[in-house]
A and B are shown apart, each in its own frame.
Chain A
């Protein structure tokens, strides 16, 4: 019988980790199918990096069973290491070497041999648009170039499973899109990717499956569509210039007025034309003066709010960029 089941690149059961009194990970279960991209989403301090460090053999877990690329992380760390590539949150390049030398170093450590190593280095420099800067000191590299080199170094040994810990944090929009394109290419090659991000749009854009990590626990898991489906609908936000008008609208629409003194009212609704027209007619009939109106379709932010009971403390990537 032919089954559609795929092998798992990562299986983790009941992973726990504490630093002193502080519980960073609590009973984390996750499973990543081969050839897919899995995103661990969560705010700063949720435990994402700790999870990556455990899965990539950098630190041991206190509890749990973990198999990565078919090897037990505790019993066969060397087997795991030979199969994975890791691009951490902090730049893992040798700042005293040139770009080409950094790649060469990786080729030597992967025992590619002189000829194959040189070929791989040249190939990666081209693919990551670093050929021109190949022999320049890293001090002259921009943040985006550095991040590209970092990822290129991870790919030298052709790993089939790659960990990317917040790969686009702090990048400008162009570098971010380049990074996303590279990730797309890796996926096309059949590489499995474990991605952490605090950006909802990034997880939405890239991931096959998302697990929301909050305070060391997985609070939701599913495809982006599944997660969004958990939210019944979006809302229409009405802006008022006069508090009295807001009070009237709140009474009319039977919506709780905001507690924070803002002159905005959130009316549940999916933002379809029909519902919008109905809403406007209602307001019109009662001659309520609305200054502005915006439609808010459900996104992962709402999911985050729904599963954690609070709003995601991190702005989206685009919002960070305009600051």
Chain B
């Protein structure tokens, strides 16, 4: 087999390992999906009527709350991606405390396979989380207008952005000195959706915050998904969303690989 074939085989082996972990201990997955679900219900049923009225887009047949569901679900989907990414830092950091990692390092395993396994495992976890959250959103009245291409595009953008956040979280997990730190440092990933166009239009925000919200990566990603699913204008957001996702993924992945390789130089004894 060629080096590339070994890389694929070993990464698949590591992916299977991570999926087994997730299946055996589903509590983490449940916890990570619960967060966006709570936010969805909270924002639709508690704040939704008021926020929907503020959007100023409702028509006679639809209530304010329905208008707000249409607005907020893309934001909730992005929040789902961010929440699931938290799990990556945790699983990577936990794994690094296990003796088996040292075993892997004494074996002729394709470079990067351990990390790739973690990242792809988290990606699958994220997609499952997205399906659950979207299912619930549809059940409570979310009505996207997208055709097959729109759905495909939205899925593609969400996957790309997931890869970005997961890679970043993996690097943060490797950089953390302890599992506790690893569960805290990526927390900001789940706060940023609130400071984007995810929950309210950025135009309603005060100066300074508004500029931050408009230029941080969550907004173009949210606007792109929103546009693809419900037909709002996307403009240059699509390009920005893809550029941000690819950029964050590349930088984070290289950083993560560096951290993973450097760890071997540190001898605990």
Which residues of chain A have a CB within 8 Å of any CB of chain B?
19, 49-50, 53, 56-60, 78, 81-82, 84, 86, 88, 90-97, 101, 105, 108-111, 137, 153, 157
Contacts and interface: CB of A to CB of B under 8 A. Distances in A.
Given A78-B108, A94-B17, A109-B107, A50 B267 contact: yes
A109 B13 contact: yes
A91 to B, nearest CB: 5
B20 A84 contact: no
Interface stretch (B49-57, B97-105, B224-232, B245-253): B97-105
B1 interface: yes
A57 B106 contact: yes
A93 B102 contact: no
Contacts of B269: 49-50
Interface string B236-269: 0000000000000000000000000000110101
A95 B94 CA distance: 11
B10 interface: yes
Contacts of B216: none
B39 interface: no
A270 to B, nearest CB: 40
Contacts of B100: 92-94
B25 A96 contact: yes
Given A88-B103, A92-B103, A108-B13, A82 B267 contact: no
Nearest to B20: A97
Nearest to A91: B99
Nearest to A84: B106
8 contacts: A81-B106, A84-B106, A88-B99, A88-B103, A90-B99, A93-B99, A101-B20, A111-B6
B267 A109 contact: no
Given A50-B267, A91-B99, 8 more contacts: A56-B106, A58-B105, A58-B106, A86-B106, A90-B99, A96-B25, A109-B109, A111-B9
A243 to B, nearest CB: 45
B88 to A, nearest CB: 16
A51 to B, nearest CB: 11
A19 B267 contact: yes
A59 B103 contact: no
A93 B264 CA distance: 18
Nearest to A54: B267
A195 to B, nearest CB: 16
Contacts of A19: 267
**Which of B16, B100, B106, B109 has the largest number of chain A CB atoms within 10 A?**
B106
